[in-house]
């Protein structure tokens, strides 16, 4: 009995497999192609979704690294500027550059009141002068560090110190001149703003004078309300005429006037 049951189960299994194979074979090739396309598309979408976070993380790391590299380069550039020009002189040059930008952005410059506002030659001259002064000071520091200074050492150090001071003073005077240019440009902008306000006020005053004069002229030229040939006057005249005729008819009939 057990052996017969196993045989029946095996037959049913084989029949089921054959049935599945038959169903699969009955599916048209177009359906298989469509299903294959869907499966491939699904796999690609899954792969892209899995890869997106990884790619995004790599991109974020590259962006952060590039930003850090730019910050490091800028910090190194600023340190080198301090070495080449001196810390205070770097601050003066930055102030001059800000003033140059202020002049360029001013209305006075845009409208041509200031002429040529290209300060590139001035900035370059100031930078070169500060650089020469700073280089001279570095050499003096090295000379001062030597032991057993001689008379020539002291003479050169004195002359170098005086020359460096003169160079820095000349460059700083040019910086101050550029700063005054920015203040003057700001003053001209303020003057132009006041002129605009005054012109607008004058234009508004003229328009109001013209409108009010027109209104006054219209009042003087228009007929008075009492002399106007209005409908009210015509109606009242007809009322008076009616009453006069009515009175005459009453008198003619010998009736008492009511």
- pLDDT tens-digit series, residues 214-242: 888 876 666 555 555 566 566 667 667 76
Report how far residue 64's alpha carbon sits from residue 36's, in angstroms, rounded to the nearest whole number. Answer: 42
**Greatest Cα-to-Cα distance within the chain, rounded to the nearest angstrom:** 155
More confident residue, 19 or 103: 103
pTM over 0.85: no
Report how far residue 231's alpha carbon sits from residue 67's, in angstroms, rounded to the nearest whole number. Answer: 87
**42 phi and psi, to 5 degrees?**
-65, -40
Q: For the chain, what's the residue count? A: 258
- Indicate if the pLDDT at residue 65 is higher than 80: yes
CA 201 to chain centre: 31
Provide the pLDDT for residue 74.
81
Report how far residue 184's alpha carbon sits from residue 178's, in angstroms, rounded to the nearest whole number. Answer: 10
Q: Cα–Cα distances in Å, from 49 out to 41, 46, 52?
A: 12, 5, 5
The token pair at 48 is 């892209």
pLDDT grade, residue 254 (50/70/90)?
A: low
DSSP structural state of residue 229: -
The token pair at 238 is 């007809």
- Percent of the chain, pLDDT > 70? 75
């Amino acid at each position: 009995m057990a052996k017969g049951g196993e045989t029946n189960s095996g037959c049913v299994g084989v029949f089921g497999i054959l049935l599945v194979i038959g169903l699969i074979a009955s599916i048209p090739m177009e359906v298989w192609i469509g299903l294959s396309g869907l499966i491939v598309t699904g796999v690609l979408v899954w792969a892209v979704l899995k890869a997106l976070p990884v790619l995004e993380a790599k991109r974020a790391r590259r962006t952060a690294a590039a930003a850090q590299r730019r910050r490091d380069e800028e910090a190194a550039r600023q340190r080198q500027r301090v070495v080449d020009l001196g810390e205070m002189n770097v601050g003066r040059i930055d102030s001059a550059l800000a003033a140059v930008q202020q002049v360029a952005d001013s209305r006075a410059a845009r409208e041509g009141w200031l002429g040529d506002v290209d300060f590139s030659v001035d900035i370059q001259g100031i930078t070169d002068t500060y650089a020469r002064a700073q280089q001279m000071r570095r050499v003096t520091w090295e000379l001062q560090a030597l032991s057993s200074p001689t008379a020539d050492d002291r003479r050169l150090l004195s002359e170098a110190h005086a020359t460096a001071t003169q160079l820095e003073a000349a460059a700083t005077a040019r910086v101050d001149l550029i700063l005054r240019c920015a203040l003057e440009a700001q003053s001209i902008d303020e003057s132009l703003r006041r002129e605009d306000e005054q012109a607008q006020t004058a234009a508004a005053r003229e328009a109001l004078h013209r409108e009010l004069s027109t209104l006054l002229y219209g009042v003087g030229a228009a007929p008075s309300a009492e002399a106007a040939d209005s409908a009210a006057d015509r109606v009242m005249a007809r009322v008076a005429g009616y009453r006069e005729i009515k009175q005459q008819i009453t008198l003619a009939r010998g009736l008492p006037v009511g």
